[in-house]
Amino acid sequence: MEKLNIKQVKNKHEYNKTINIRETVFIKEQNVPKEIEMDEFDKESEHFIVYLKNIPIGCARIRKINDYLKLERIAILKEYRGKGFGKDLTNFLINYCKKKGINEIRLHSQIYISNFYEKLGFKRIGKKFLEADIEHIEMIRRI
């Protein structure tokens, strides 16, 4: 399998690339309104970008909430899905959280992909809910 380069966003240029990926995946593909996708939490979050052969193909952000970290805006461009890159990205984020000394990670998974996160050690908590008119479930992983 091809090797990904996953790194924390360090400048405006990289940040803009993550925004372009999010616009493609969430706004264009999933019809999430721009005002929901691009929110006030972008400023307080740590952003990550995924490169394959210097091509930006994915992104994510991590936000600290109380005593846990929340994985958000995890996205891989459509033409690169199904190749294990989402798993690589999520494992990278989990390891990043471990290094931060945090013992609880949460995320809001779209229902259709929640089994993917379960295979990576996340457990469903609570009930299904709508976020941007898409069914989600909150998930947690303790480290």
Domain boundaries, the chain: 4-106
Cα distances (angstroms) measured from residue 136 to each of 52, 115, 131, 132: 29, 12, 7, 10
Q: Indicate the pLDDT class of residue 2, thresholds 50, 70 and 90.
A: confident
The SS3 call for residue 34 is helix
The class level of CATH for 4-106 reads alpha beta
Beta strands in 68-120 (DSSP E): 68-76, 104-110
Instruction: Tell me the C-alpha distance between 54 and 64, whole Å.
Output: 29
How much of the chain is in helix, strand and coil states, percent to nearest 5? 35, 40, 25
pLDDT, tens digit (0-9, with 9 covering 90-100), for 19-64: 999 999 999 999 999 999 999 999 999 999 999 999 999 999 999 9
* Mean pLDDT to the nearest integer, 87-94: 97
pLDDT, tens digit (0-9, with 9 covering 90-100), for 100-132: 999 999 999 999 999 999 999 999 999 999 999
The one-character DSSP state at 78 is G
Q: Indicate the pLDDT class of residue 1, thresholds 50, 70 and 90.
A: low
Q: Which of 100, 108, 110, 104 is closest to 139 using CA atoms?
A: 108
Q: In what order do the strands lie in the sheet with 134-142?
A: 4-8, 46-52, 55-65, 68-76, 104-110, 134-142, 123-131
Instruction: Tell me the C-alpha distance between 14 and 31, whole Å.
Output: 24
